[in-house]
Amino acid sequence: MVTDFAFVAYPAKDVAALRAFYADALGFEFGRPFEENGVEKYAEAKVGSGWFAVMTEEWAGSARGGGMVAFEVPDIEKAFAELRSKNVRTERIHDTGVCKLGSFHDPEGNQVTLHQITVPH
């Protein structure tokens, strides 16, 4: 039935600021944002086979701060070091034996997890 995901979206009070955070912290390249009356309402960036989007709370139909997404990275220690150099406060990295993962929160309070496969499965 389902073959892939189309997009995942985080609600935001300030779409422009959240878009800028993800562009700086994770290097996401967003397309031109959709605006209404000079206010950004939606922006998306290609990640893997799908899209990561930020949109206003009213468009998302939910409040900010309750989401969680996990992004795959080739080297989580290097990724966390880069985030820390940009003053992003990260949690510790957990090694499960088959993967490593760790999280941080974006400026809107959404949880972002970085994940590194260490044992292919």
- Given a contact cutoff of 8 angstroms between Cβ atoms, the answer to whether 18 and 65 are in contact is no
Domain CATH code at residue 109: 3.10.180.10
| 3-state class (DSSP) for residue 94 | strand
For the cut 70, the answer to whether the pLDDT of residue 62 exceeds it is yes
Minimum mean pLDDT range among 1-10, 34-43, 45-54 = 1-10
Is position 2 within any domain? no
pTM for this entry: 0.87
How does residue 2 score in pLDDT terms, banded at 50, 70 and 90? low
Helix (H) or strand (E) holding 19: helix 15-26
Domain count, the chain: 1
pLDDT score recorded for residue 83: 96
Give me Rg for the CA atoms of the chain: 15
